[in-house]
Structure 1
Amino acid sequence: MEMPAWFVPGWRNVEPEADICLIAEGCYPYVSGGVSSWIDWLIRTHPELSFSVLAILPSMPEAEPRYQRPDNLRTVHHLYLDDRGKGQRRAWPAMTPQWYADTLNAILDHGDSDAFQELLEKLGPGRRRPSVTTLLDSPQAWQALSSGYARMPQTAFISYFWAWRALAGGLLRTLVSPLPSARLYHSVSTGYAGLLAARAAHDTGRPVMITEHGIYSNERRVEILMADWIKNSIDTGLDFTDERHDVRDFWADAFESFARIAYSAADDVIALYGDNNAFQQALGADSRKLTVVPNGVDVDRFSTLPDRVCERPTLAFIGRVTPIKDVQTFIDVAERTASKVRDFRALIIGPMDEDPEYAQSCIDAVNERGLGDIITFTGPVDVRDYMAEIDVLMLTSISEALPLVILEAGASGVPCIATDVGACREILGCPGSPGQAAVAGIGGMVAPVGDVSALVSAAVQMLNTPLERKRMGAALRSKVRIQYRSDTIAAAYTRLYSRHLCSIATREV
């Protein structure tokens, strides 16, 4: 396999230290999407700082980077979760098998930060730590696995075995892999990226920031509950009092544990809106570390748009075609809306390569229902080129934080309909509380997750009332231009970075 562009072919001791090391899991620069675009934006809006990126990926990427490399991005490093060669020594470290078992269980089951720190101490200096093979394929590792399984013997051993191997293996790779040198480490999620940030805080003493676009552990829990590759071993039926844990719980609880460790190590824990700060605090984040910095949009870029080509009433989805975006629900909405709005069309705009099987299921659904004349898949495009074609934007996501695409639509004067997740209600100015039927706000409407009837009702109402639609679009544009400007948000990160970098300079003089 050819090495992709930006690939760093080995650890280089002479590499100059970056000001900021961004730690990104499963996104930039190989996957398009909101978080990747945000990383690209963050680097470009701070040309006075040098950046490196540590990209955590399942394996070596086959695709080329999706983004042009910014001038101030020095290096992209890679950590592959399937790489068992990380680490240097083959000798077992100075710890008993039982201590190792108890410590791994404390980390995976409880997010014990003290156990995490103690394990790092036992593993030794950063560049002389044991290999993942030593830590994962030894008799001591088997004892640790067996000890963990003894806590949930009701689950199928083979399922637990592979889950433990994946989770413990990912944890250990974050602890023994080479760590880029930087003055500040900034993780864009918890998960394995958050563990690496916590490890960086321990190994270097340098400051650590975490920006969560969604609550990573919650999003993983949703995906784990939906995953058909995880087989249930316990049939609880409708008995909700059964507290036995199955392998799904093990997966989900481990990511929650990783979040607790990351929050404990971070100097700043940033959310895109206030409700997510509350989630972070509930998972153990110190309230004194919490702050809100929303997404921002380049409003000037969307102030003038290309001329409209098609006059058909158009409802559009913009985003990755993945299960968590629930594109199947958008297809259901489009099918029912077509019978209520004359000459209606729908656009599904965004990349389709993150989950090819799911994307194909969406294409099949359109074809099998004979909706090819109504619904169009555009693939990845510059969304600005399509904004003039869109009358109403619709997001059907199961989980969101503060969707950049709503800000882009707002900057373009396009009103939105969204499921009532994340900050969508807040951005669109919808009154009331979550769980209600479709609710109108100043810039659009929100509806309950998966409620096709409510979403259809909202779409039909907005598409058939052009004056109301225009009023909502203008109101949303005004709000976005005032509250979500890119330059204002970039300045907030400049202040955060400056505070930490100045403290380092003072401390290390």
Structure 2
Amino acid sequence: MRIALLTEGGYPYARGEGGAWCDRLVRGLPHHDFEVYALSRSARTEQGGTVEPPPHVRRVLSARLWGAPPPARPRDGRGRAARRARGAAFRWHFGEFAAALAGGSALGAAARADRFAAGLYGLAGVAVEHGGLAELLRGDDAIGALESACRAPGVRPLLGDVTVTELLAVADLLERQLRPLALPWYGPQELGAADLCHAASGGPAALPGLLAKRFCGTPLIVTEYTVRLREALLAHRAAGFAPAVRALLGDYHRLLAGEVYRQAALVTPGSTHVRRWQERCGAPHERIRTVQPGIDAARFARAGEAAEAEAVTPAGHADPVLAWVGRPDPAKDLIALLHAFHALRQEEPQARLRIFHLRGAGQASVRYLDHCRTLAAQLFPDEAADPHAVGESPVAFEEIGSPGAPELADAYAAGDVVLLSSSAEGFPLSLVEAMFCGRATVSTDVGAVREVIGGTGLVVPPRNPKALAEAALSLLRAPERAARLGAAARERALALFTVARCVDAFRESYVDVVAHHPVPREPLLSAAGAPRPFTAPAESWSPTRLAPLTKGFRP
């Protein structure tokens, strides 16, 4: 089977868990041919390098959603008639697109979705037939269409007061988001030759899949372990965009998500939390299948086995230790964690907190980490007089890969209890990793945490340092209970979150989707004219040579 893997800011780029799970998926299906179509989000994405794909990844194509638009000349020449035809087509389709973004009293939800889809595919048609889409999206016609849509009757008052500066910002950001429409990926030798497209996230990554379905009939699978729509809305707020800009861009992402979910042959959320978002945005219930992400359990086997041995023969610690592991980010709410630990120290003065952070953090993460170090110094100014502190702060900030934690598993194993203090979370991978290590956990009730942890850990409200401190203290004072919870957590992780389970689920999904949505290619029609389901039948691959069925047979 030939699979087109569509990514945005993930595989084959090395940075981020999104790239890691794609790599595990591809390596777990060596009997399929993969082609990767990667969208780069930023210069930082590319600076992180790429992973070396396995041999059955036939090629990797990439395009940027950042920086200046790629140079492109109109395909139909620069004559007056050609320019008029191109401009007229663009104004019509972008007018539909802009009207859908702005909404209005005359548009219901269904009509708005239809106009958005018509405008989106129409703009793709302009890119194919005429070229020069990036120039048009930044031009006067686009600004005029956006302004007319925002001044239409029944539009929200917020948009009625939009300024030209804000419209220019919207046009610039939309041009970047819509760059996949103009990519040369939709010919019969590109996405048209794939048996299916698998988008590794919603949003821009799924745009090539939408066009492949529209132009070539290629079925689309969409996987989301975090809600791409929610990520976009939070990013708009963090960027400080004006309210009108946020409203238009937010509606673009909502309408795009709805169109992606409606057109996908299968939607595979990573949790019930994500599934609820998808259904709210229009994903049909009958085309959703939850597939938890697969994590390499072998990386944590040593720590998990050591935890089991320690539960049988407790060794004890001179000082009780709490551990936090992850990438420093405001959403991880290390501020609440430090305040919780300060409250816990009033009851358990020997306790220590070890904060393990990942390498390769960006400047924003470095600044946040410096802020947390400053707060820790203020909360624990000088404990040299404390005989239990040995002249050191009870809070340690350590990088994974340092002598204190050479490997990721060592960071989890360093704590008697592992904490997750996030104020917002998608799928909590660090929590699953702690479960593989057999550690008792205390987590905030955000995202898919409750679904992941089941009954094998303690869950407290977010942004509540007192509740976090009390739960952690209860486990530190009951090591037998903590050991039981850690053992149960490891069993749950091994049952639900392994790579093998994830790969098997996608293997079945691929066969099911291609069997029910074969691509109608002319060379692959049967004698009766019906489309055949596979470019290369999946049954044709076998890891070993099989002996003839008649060998040794005696009637």
Q: Which TM-score tier does this pair reach, normalised by the shorter chain? A: 0.7 to 0.9
The answer for the alignment partner of 2:183 in structure 1 is 177
Alignment of 1:81-230 (within 5 A): 81=65, 82-85=67-70, 87-89=72-74, 92=83, 93=86, 95-96=88-89, 98-109=91-102, 112-113=113-114, 115-117=116-118, 119-121=120-122, 123-124=124-125, 128-150=129-151, 151=155, 152-166=159-173, 168-179=174-185, 180-181=190-191, 182-225=194-237, 227=238, 229-230=240-241
Give the whole-Å Cα distance in 2 for the aligned partners of 1:365 and 1:254.
36
Q: Which runs of 5+ in 1 are unaligned?
A: 1-17, 233-245, 430-441
The equivalent residue for 1:235 is: none
One-letter amino acid of the structure 2 residue matched with residue 417 of structure 1: V
Shift of 1:80: 1.0
Of the three residues 293, 296, 303, the one matched with 2:294 is 296
Contact map agreement 1:189 1:212 (CA 8 A) in 2: yes
Aligned to 2:396: 375
Q: TM-score if structure 1 supplies the norm length?
A: 0.81
Q: Secondary structure at the match of 2:195?
A: strand
Partner of 1:249: 247
Q: What is the aligned partner in structure 1 of residue 503 from structure 2? A: 490
Map 1:21-40 → 2, pairs under 5 A = 21-30=4-13, 32-40=15-23
Change in 2 beyond 3 A, CA 1:484/1:97: closer
Where 1:405 maps in the other structure, the secondary structure is helix
Would the alpha carbon gap of residues 394 and 200 (structure 1) be closer, same or farther in structure 2, given more than 3 Å must change? farther
2:107 equivalent in structure 1: none
Instruction: Compute the displacement of 1:158 (Å).
Output: 1.9
Counterparts of 1:345 and 1:361 in 2: how far apart (Å)? 18
Q: Distance in 1 between matches of 2:456 and 2:114?
A: 43
Cα displacement (A) at 1:125: 8.0
**Structure with larger Rg:** 2
Moved more, 22-31 or 459-468: 22-31
1:347 corresponds to which of 355, 365, 375: 355
Cα distance change on mapping 1:94 and 1:135 into 2, 3 Å: closer
Corresponding residue pairs, total? 464
Report matched runs for 1:450-469 at 5 Å.
450-469=463-482
CA contact (8 A) 1:86 1:177 kept: no
Residue deviations 1:192-243, cap 9 Å, x none?
Answer: 1122321222122111110111222123223433x153245xxxxxxxxxxx
SS of the aligned residue for 1:397 comes to: coil
In 2, the alpha carbon distance for the partners of 1:86 and 1:323 equals 38
Contiguous gaps of at least 5 residues in structure 2: 77-82, 104-111, 308-314, 381-392, 533-555
What is the CA-CA distance between 1:272 and the residue it aligns to? 1.5
For residue 479 of structure 1, give the secondary structure of its aligned residue in structure 2.
Answer: helix
Deviation at 1:94, TM superposition (A): 6.4
Map 1:260-275 → 2, pairs under 5 A: 260-275=258-273
Q: CA deviation at 1:76?
A: 2.8
Question: Is the CA contact (8 Å cut-off) linking 1:394 and 1:417 kept in structure 2?
Answer: yes
Say whether residues 1:362 and 2:358 are aligned partners: no
CA deviation string 1:167-199 (max 9, x = no partner): x21343121112253332111221211223212
Conserved 8 A contact 1:86-1:176: no
Counterpart Cα distance in 1 of 2:60 and 2:260: 22
Letter of the structure 2 residue corresponding to residue 70 of structure 1: P
Contact 1:85 1:132 in 2 (8 A): no
Q: Residue 77 of structure 1 corresponds to which residue in structure 2?
A: 61
For 1:326-371, what per-residue CA distance to the aligned partner results, in whole angstroms no more than 9, with x for missing partners? 34433443444444431412223324524x2243122233135416
| Offset, 1:162 | 0.6
Q: Give the whole-Å Cα distance in 2 for the aligned partners of 1:386 and 1:66.
A: 25
Q: Is the 8 A contact 1:314 1:347 kept in 2?
A: no
Inter-partner Cα distance in structure 2 for 1:78 and 1:178 = 11
Alpha carbons of structure 1 residues 247 and 117: separation in structure 2 relative to 1, 3 Å = closer
Quote the Cα distance in structure 2 between the aligned partners of 1:311 and 1:24. 47
Letter in 1 for 2:430: V
- Higher alpha-carbon deviation: 25-34 or 410-419: 25-34
Cα distance change, pair 326–123 in 1 and its aligned pair in 2 (3 A): same
**Cα distance in 1, alignment partners of residues 114 and 205 from structure 2:** 16
In terms of mean alpha carbon deviation, does 323-332 or 171-180 score higher?
A: 323-332
Aligned counterpart, 1:435: none
**How far off its partner does 1:467 sit?**
1.3
Alpha-carbon distance in 2 for matches of 1:139, 1:21: 36
CA contact (8 A) 2:96 2:115 kept: no
1:421 aligns with 2:446: yes
Higher helix share: 2
Within the candidate set 28, 31, 36, 1:45 is matched to 28
Output the CA distance in 1 between the equivalents of 2:250 and 2:359.
Answer: 27
Q: For residues 482-502 of structure 1, what are the alpha-carbon distances to aligned partners after superposition, in whole Å with 9 as ceiling and x for unaligned?
A: 233321221110011122344
- 1:112 is paired with a residue whose SS is helix
Query: CA 1:470/1:262 → structure 2, altered by over 3 Å: closer, same or farther?
Result: same
1:176 and 1:141 mapped to 2: Cα distance?
16
Could you say what secondary structure the match of 1:269 adopts? strand
Match of 1:315 among 310, 313, 322: 322
Q: Which moved more, 1:202-211 or 1:177-186?
A: 177-186
Q: Which moved more, 1:104-113 or 1:392-401?
A: 104-113
Quick check: 1:348–1:376 contact (8 Å CA) kept in 2? yes
Query: What secondary structure is seen at the aligned counterpart in 2 of 1:398?
Result: coil
Q: Is the 1:108–1:258 contact (alpha carbons within 8 Å) kept by the matching residues of 2? A: no
**Structure 1 partner of 2:537:** none
Distance 1:118 1:387, change over 3 A: same
Question: Which residue is equivalent to 1:433?
Answer: none
Deviation of 1:68 (Å): 4.2
1:251-308: per-residue Cα shift (whole Å, max 9, x none)?
A: 3222212211211221111111234323212111122211111123343442323979
Q: Distance in 2 between matches of 1:317 and 1:87?
A: 49
Q: CA deviation at 1:73?
A: 2.7
1:324/1:397 contact within 8 Å kept: yes
- Tell me which residue corresponds to 2:312: none
Moved more, 24-33 or 472-481: 24-33
* Residue 275 of structure 2 is aligned to residue 277 of structure 1: yes
Aligned-residue offset at 1:448: 1.8
2-side partners of 1:256 and 1:99: how far apart? 22
SS of residue paired to 1:345: strand
Q: Distance in 2 between matches of 1:408 and 1:218?
A: 24
Q: Secondary structure at the match of 2:354?
A: strand
The code of the aligned residue for 1:407 comes to: V
Compared CA separation, residues 106 and 142, structure 1 to 2 (3 A): closer
SS of structure 2 residue aligned to 1:28? coil
- 1:448 equivalent in alignment to 2:473: no
